[in-house]
Structure 1
Amino acid sequence: MEICTNKQWLWALPVSFAALVMTGCQERPAPKTEQATTTKQEKSESIPLIQAKVVLVKLTKPEACDADGCMQYDIQTVKTNVKWIDDYFIDRIKKADPIAFSTAPNQKINTAEGANPNLSQSSTYIRFVSQQYDQATFAIQTYTYSSGAAHGMYHQEFVNFDLKTKKRLALQDILLKGTEQQVLDTLYDSNSIWLDQHSIERTKLQLSDNFYFGANGIVFVYPLYELASYAEGMTELNLPYAALTKLVKAEYLPSLPHYPTP
Structure 2
Amino acid sequence: MNVNFKIGFAVSALVSAIVLTACQEKPEPQAEQVTAAVKTVALIEAKIERVELPKKQFCDEDGCTQYDFQNVKTNLDWIDAYFLDRMKKDVPMAFSVDAHQTQTASDVAVTSPKGLNQNSIYVRFISQQYNLATFVIQSYTYVAGSAHGMQHNEFVTFDLNTQKRLALTDILKPNVEAKVAEQLYDANASWLTQHDITRDKLQLSDNYFYGVNGIVFVYPLYELAPYAEGMPELRLPYQIAKDLVKAEYLPALPQIKADQPVKQEN
Query: What TM-score, normalized by structure 2, do the two folds share?
Result: 0.82
Alignment partners' CA distance in 2, 1:60 and 1:54: 19
Q: What SS does the corresponding residue of 1:54 show, helix, strand or coil? A: strand
Question: Does 1:106 pair with 2:106?
Answer: no
Alignment partners' CA distance in 2, 1:188 and 1:55: 39
Please, what is the CA RMSD of the aligned residues?
Answer: 2.5
Alignment partners' CA distance in 2, 1:43 and 1:170: 26
Question: Does 1:163 pair with 2:157?
Answer: no
Contact 1:68 1:117 in 2 (8 A): no
Aligned to 1:205: 202
Aligned to 2:264: none
Aligned to 1:43: 39
Cα deviation for residue 36 of structure 1 reads 8.2
Alignment partners' CA distance in 2, 1:28 and 1:73: 66
Contact 1:66 1:107 in 2 (8 A): no
Contact 1:220 1:237 in 2 (8 A): yes
Describe the shift of the 1:79–1:36 C-alpha distance in structure 2 as closer, same or farther (beyond 3 A).
closer
Cα deviation for residue 257 of structure 1 reads 1.9
1:176-216 C-alpha deviation (Å, 9 max, x unpaired): 01111111100000000000000000000000000000000
**What's the % identity of the aligned pairs?**
54
Question: Does 1:217 pair with 2:214?
Answer: yes
Cα deviation for residue 116 of structure 1 reads 2.5
Contact 1:138 1:158 in 2 (8 A): yes
Contact 1:68 1:110 in 2 (8 A): no
Aligned to 2:54: 60
Alignment partners' CA distance in 2, 1:31 and 1:83: 34
Cα deviation for residue 78 of structure 1 reads 0.2
1:14-46 C-alpha deviation (Å, 9 max, x unpaired): xx9xxx9xx99x9845355x97872443332xx
Contact 2:69 2:121 in 1 (8 A): yes
Alignment partners' CA distance in 1, 2:95 and 2:216: 34
Q: What SS does the corresponding residue of 1:206 show, helix, strand or coil? A: coil
Q: What SS does the corresponding residue of 1:77 show, helix, strand or coil? A: strand
Alignment partners' CA distance in 2, 1:161 and 1:91: 16
Query: What TM-score, normalized by structure 1, do the two folds share?
Result: 0.83
Q: What SS does the corresponding residue of 1:237 show, helix, strand or coil? A: strand
1:55-102 C-alpha deviation (Å, 9 max, x unpaired): 000001211111232100000000000011011001001011111110
Aligned to 2:182: 185
| Structure 2: gaps of 5 or more residues | 1-12, 260-266
Aligned to 2:239: 242
Aligned to 1:134: 131
